[in-house]
Amino acid sequence: MEINPGKEFDCVVLAAGFSSRMGQWKPILPYRDTTIIDCVIRTALINCRKTILVCGYRWSELYARYRKRDNVEVIFNNRYAEGILSSARKGAEFVSTDRFFLVLADLPAIEPDTYKTMIKHSPDDILVSFPVFNGKRGHPVLVPGSAIPMILEAKGYENTREFLESLTCVDIEVNDPGILEDIDSEQDYFRLRGRHAL
C-alpha cells in the first residue's frame, strides 16, 4: 500500500477567534454533513498525521468535542485576544515535524488534493509555500520547521499572513477556489454552504 507522504506533516488549525464579523461563532455552524471546523480538520487529517487545534474563545467547547481524538491535539491560547498571530505562535510550539501546514478554521471548502499538491511541489528547504488560485494566495500554507523560532519571536505584524510573506516564499498553483473561501460573513456562509451542499 502506498504511504501518503503527508502523514509526515502536522497541521496547525487556528480556531481561537471571536467570529466578530460573522455575528455568530463559526466553528460549529452546520456545513455539508457536519460542521465548519469538522470539515477543516477532516480534510487536514487525510493528508497529515495530526492537527494541532489552537483555541481561545469558547475553547472548552472545542476541547470537549475533540479531547478523545488521538490525532487532534487541542491547545488553549490564553493570549488569543491579541490576534491570530498569537495563535500561530502557540500552535508552532507543539509542532514536531520537519514541515507543517498552517490553516484557518473558517476555510471548510479546501480540497484534500490541495494538500497533496503542496507536498509534492514545495521545495524541501527554508521556503514558505502558498497555494495560489487565480493569482491570489490562500491556505493551507506549508511552513518549514526552521521558521518556528522566527514565528515564536514574531512581533509587529498585523496578522500571520503579513509575517509569513515577510519570509522567503514560493507560490504553488492549485485548481481549488476553496483556498480563498474563508467565511467572514453570513453571506459568505450561506453562499458557500449552498454551493457545497450534499
Question: What count of other Cβ atoms lies within 10 Å of the Cβ of residue 65?
Answer: 18
β-strand partners of 173: 132
Assigned C-alpha cell, 177: 477556489
Q: Quick one: which of 175, 158, 164, 36 has its CA closest to 100?
A: 164
Over residues 12-63, the pLDDT tens digits come to 999 998 876 777 788 999 998 899 999 999 999 999 999 999 999 999 999 9
Position 198 pLDDT exceeds 80 = no
Range from 43-47, 124-128, 188-192 that averages highest in pLDDT? 43-47
Q: How far is CA 146 from CA 75, 150, 181, in A?
A: 21, 8, 29
Stated length of the chain: 198
- Between CA 97 and CA 154 the distance in angstroms is 20
Look at residue 180 and give its three-state secondary structure: helix
Tell me how far apart the alpha carbons of residues 41 and 108 are, in angstroms, rounded to a whole number: 9
Q: What is the pTM of this model?
A: 0.92
Q: How far, CA to CA in Å, does 7 sit from each of 10, 158, 191?
A: 8, 32, 32
Query: 137-158: per-residue pLDDT in tens?
Result: 999 999 999 899 999 988 878 7
